[in-house]
Amino acid sequence: MTDSTSHADAQPEWMRRQERSNLAILRLMVWISLAFGRRAGRLVLHGIATYFVLFAPASRRASRAYLRRVLGRWAGWRDGYRHVFSFASTIHDRIYLLNDRFDVFDITVTGNQAVLDSLEQRPGALLMGAHLGSFEVLRAIGRDEKALRVAMLMYEQNARMLNATLAAINPKAMQDIISLGQMESMLEARDKLDAGYLVGMLADRSLADDATVQIEFLGEAAAFPMGPWRMAAMLKRPVFMMAGLYLGGNRYRLHFEPLADFSQLERGGRDAAIRAAMQAYAEALERLCREAPYNWFNFFDFWKK
């Protein structure tokens, strides 16, 4: 990790390249999947995945570059297709997860005891995720731990997209969302934590004006945003990595891992604690990418200077 931070002077690539979505197609997929089952819905996914592999060249190049890094070999068309199909599968499975159809899946959970132990000591904890696997799988933990409630910190534009998606899938599945970039965001997050919520955010993409830190990730330095970690330090809560890894078929693994405990932050040690937490996050993210390489869903040049 370098000692310098930088401010992007233009919109990051992920914001310039909007994720493609079509609510009419999504509603059709919801109807097919709920009426005829997951297997029928997945047949349609193959056509969608093939379309994007063939007709989204920029995303295909980014996918191939990432896969070469994580696999340590040339990534061919079959790898690219598997990458896109994994992404499509997690999007499709939202239909069932948001309708509480957990019986459709084989979901294992690792590391959750550390989160439960933390909540026993003090209400509230932060979950740092990434565009890795499925965040919606987190809903499944409620089957066994009914007291766990989750709120998401999201940028306003992403929050609007998510709300539209949720409304198309299941209007009753609307979740607690706190919009980032507003004066009251920190107060809302603090209130949720005090009420015992797990507050989650994705820490692998930055906005144009975010300060970033260069951290080695999959063999080359990449810019990770400081914003989520500054907020975590101000909220003074334990922080856990969270990832819902898609393992193929109907299998998922929900993974939790301690990253930092800002509730124990010493005076004057804030910057060092933030940098240590970011390093731990990047290392955990790299390890999870190597364990489940087709789960990384940042289809742009993550290492672009």
Give the pTM: 0.88
pLDDT value of residue 168: 67
pLDDT value of residue 64: 97
Identify the residue with better confidence: 291 or 135: 291
Model pLDDT for residues 56-72, shown as the tens digit of each residue:
999 999 999 999 999 99
pLDDT value of residue 109: 93
pLDDT band at 33 (very low <50, low <70, confident <90, very high): confident
Residue 196 near residue 185, CB atoms below 8 Å: no
The pairs formed by 281-284 with CB atoms below 8 angstroms and a separation of 24 or more are 281/128, 281/203, 281/224, 281/241, 282/1, 282/215, 282/216, 282/217, 282/224, 284/241, 284/257, 284/259
pLDDT band at 197 (very low <50, low <70, confident <90, very high): very high
Beta-bridge partner residues of 125: 198
**How many of the other CB atoms lie within 10 Å of CB of 78?**
8
Residue 97 near residue 241, CB atoms below 8 Å: no
pLDDT value of residue 24: 65
pLDDT value of residue 9: 47
Q: Which amino acid appears at position 97 of this protein? A: L
Model pLDDT for residues 228-248, shown as the tens digit of each residue:
999 999 999 999 999 999 999
pLDDT value of residue 6: 45
Burial class (CB in 10 A: 0-12, 13-18, 19+), 74: exposed
pLDDT value of residue 269: 86
Angle at 293 between CA 154 and CA 87, to 5 degrees: 50
Q: Where are the domains of the chain?
A: 12-295
Parallel/antiparallel/unpaired status of strands 150-155 and 198-202: parallel
Print the SS3 string covering the chain: CCCCEEECCCCCHHHHCCCCCCHHHHHHHHHHHHHHCHHHHHHHHHHHHHHHHHHCHHHHHHHHHHHHHHHCCCCCHHHHHHHHHHHHHHHHHHHHHCCCCHHHCEEEEECHHHHHHHHHHCCCEEEEECCEECHHHHHHHHHCCCCCCEEEEEEHHHHHHHHHHHHHHCHHHCCEEEEECCCCHHHHHHHHHHCCCEEEEECCCCCCCCEEEEEEECCEEEEEECHHHHHHHHHCCEEEEEEEEECCCCEEEEEEEEEEEHHHCCCCCHHHHHHHHHHHHHHHHHHHHHHCHHHECCCCCCCCC
Residue 172 near residue 99, CB atoms below 8 Å: no
